[in-house]
């Protein structure tokens, strides 16, 4: 059974993360693990103090026990020593072969909006598995299932994998799938490579091509998922953030460069994950967690 790791601390965002992770576990049947990283470096040095480590571990475990009360059913807890919570969660996710890491938003964000804190930001730039960020003040209604799952789509391989995961969530829950494609016109004095100047409105051609891409992507989807294309002209980050107001989940891919099998958030996804009005799931580039053995693929088998 796959495992969802929930990064928690003393902040209110931890309750939001637990609510989101519990809902996703209910959809997928995954196990939950609540994890708190306490600030202690176990590397051999003259500063090692086992009594102090035991004190911090006890305090961390007590926090985890209190937060475990937010979850119905069995849930694993783990206190880990690491001066960097993001690094600690990263290493644990690799050891546990985690299917997903869930974190909450920082207290400085707007209510109902996603805004990762320092730990979430670091995880978004190197996590070995998908990352989900819960909006501030997020609560999951018991027994609720998403009505609309959205996916940011631009035709790249990363977007294709995000679409696959979004389709699997929709199939698992009976939700509608909204495939969102934004097109931003290029300056008329700088035509794209391979497009001749003069006599051709290349923005019209590019817009038509972008619209065709999202329509074709939806047409290729198989199964009983109720999918719909959503095409808009303008800034992609703004369009996705606005569209998130009508979504229960938004799935995004990582940018097309950076370490393989890691989340590396680019410009558009980076802005959206700081402004969205629904939980955002960001997938690693070319990781097996977005293939047939992913957390979301298992959700399909449970639903069916």
- In the predicted structure, residue 292 carries a pLDDT above the cut 80: no
Radius of gyration of the chain, Cα coordinates, nearest whole angstrom: 20
What pLDDT, on the 0 to 100 scale, is given for residue 21? 94
Residue 186 has pLDDT above 50, yes or no: yes
pLDDT of 224 over the 60 cut: yes
- Output the CA angle 112-64-117, nearest 5 degrees: 35
| Cα 110 to chain centroid, rounded | 19
What pLDDT is attached to residue 263? 40
Distance CA 129, CA 10 (A): 24
pLDDT at position 10 is 92
Closest to 267 in 3D by CA, of 245, 290, 235: 235
Residues 232-273 pLDDT 10s: 999 898 999 999 999 999 999 876 444 443 444 457 777 888
Query: Chain-wide mean pLDDT for the chain?
Result: 83
Hey, do 1-144 and 145-304 end up sharing a CATH topology, with the first three levels equal?
A: yes
* Fold entry, domain 145-304: Rossmann fold (3.40.50)
Q: Domain extents for the chain?
A: 1-144, 145-304
Higher-pLDDT residue of 110, 283: 283
Which range in 72-76, 144-148, 241-245, 293-297 is most confidently predicted, on average pLDDT?
241-245
Whether the pLDDT of residue 173 is over 90: the answer is no
User: Quick check: helix, strand or coil at residue 219?
Assistant: helix
What pLDDT, on a 0 to 100 scale, did the predictor assign at position 283?
86
Instruction: Quote the CA–CA distance of 243 and 250 in Å, as a whole number.
Output: 9
Query: In 260-286, which positions are buried (b, 16+ CB within 10 angstroms) versus exposed (e)?
Result: eebbbbeebbbbbbbbbbbbbbbbbbe
Provide the pLDDT for residue 91: 93
pLDDT band at 96 (very low <50, low <70, confident <90, very high): very high
pTM of the predicted structure, to 2 decimals: 0.85
Structure confidence at residue 298 (pLDDT): 62
Q: 70 versus 6: which is more confidently predicted?
A: 6
d(C-alpha 132, C-alpha 191), whole Å: 37
Q: What is the mean pLDDT of residues 264-293?
A: 71
94-108, 178-192, 244-258: which has the highest mean pLDDT? 94-108
pLDDT above 50 for 199? no
pLDDT for 142 equals 52
Q: Give CA–CA dist 265/261, Å, rounded.
A: 13
Q: Which CATH superfamily is domain 1-144 in?
A: HUPs (3.40.50.620)
Q: Percentage of residues in the chain with pLDDT exceeding 90?
A: 44
The whole-angstrom separation of Cα 288 and Cα 260 is: 11
Nearest to 288 by CA among 102, 128, 157, 172: 128
Position 153 scores a pLDDT of 93
Cβ(124)–Cβ(131) below 8 Å: yes
Reported as type and span, the H/E element at residue 86 is: helix 85-96
pLDDT value at residue 189: 57
């Amino acid at each position: 059974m796959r495992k969802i790791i929930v990064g928690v601390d003393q902040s209110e965002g931890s309750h939001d993360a637990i609510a989101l992770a519990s809902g996703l576990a209910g959809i997928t049947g995954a196990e939950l693990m609540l994890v708190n990283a306490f600030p202690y470096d176990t590397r051999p040095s003259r500063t090692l103090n086992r009594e102090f480590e035991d004190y911090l571990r006890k305090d961390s475990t007590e926090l985890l026990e209190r937060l475990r009360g937010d979850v119905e059913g069995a849930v694993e807890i783990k206190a880990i020593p690491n001066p960097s919570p993001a690094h600690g969660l990263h290493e644990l996710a690799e050891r546990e072969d985690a299917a997903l890491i869930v974190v909450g938003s920082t207290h400085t964000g707007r209510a109902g909006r996603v805004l990762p804190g320092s730990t979430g930001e670091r995880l978004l730039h190197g996590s070995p598995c998908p990352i989900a960020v819960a909006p501030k003040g997020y609560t999951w209604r018991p027994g609720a299932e998403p009505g609309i799952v959205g996916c940011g789509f631009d035709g790249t391989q990363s977007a294709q994998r995000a679409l696959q995961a979004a389709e699997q969530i929709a199939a698992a829950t009976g939700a509608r799938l909204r495939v969102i494609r934004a097109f931003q016109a290029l300056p008329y004095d700088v035509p794209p490579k391979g497009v001749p100047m003069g006599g051709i409105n290349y923005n019209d051609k590019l817009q038509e091509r972008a619209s065709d891409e999202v329509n074709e992507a939806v047409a290729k989807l198989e199964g009983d998922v109720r999918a719909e294309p959503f095409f808009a002209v303008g800034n992609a980050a703004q369009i996705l953030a606005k569209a998130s107001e009508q979504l229960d989940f938004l799935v995004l891919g990582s940018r097309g460069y950076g370490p393989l099998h890691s989340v590396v958030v680019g410009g558009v996804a980076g802005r959206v994950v700081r402004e969205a009005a629904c939980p955002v799931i960001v997938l690693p580039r070319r990781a097996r967690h977005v293939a047939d053995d992913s957390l979301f693929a298992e959700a399909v088998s449970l639903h069916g």
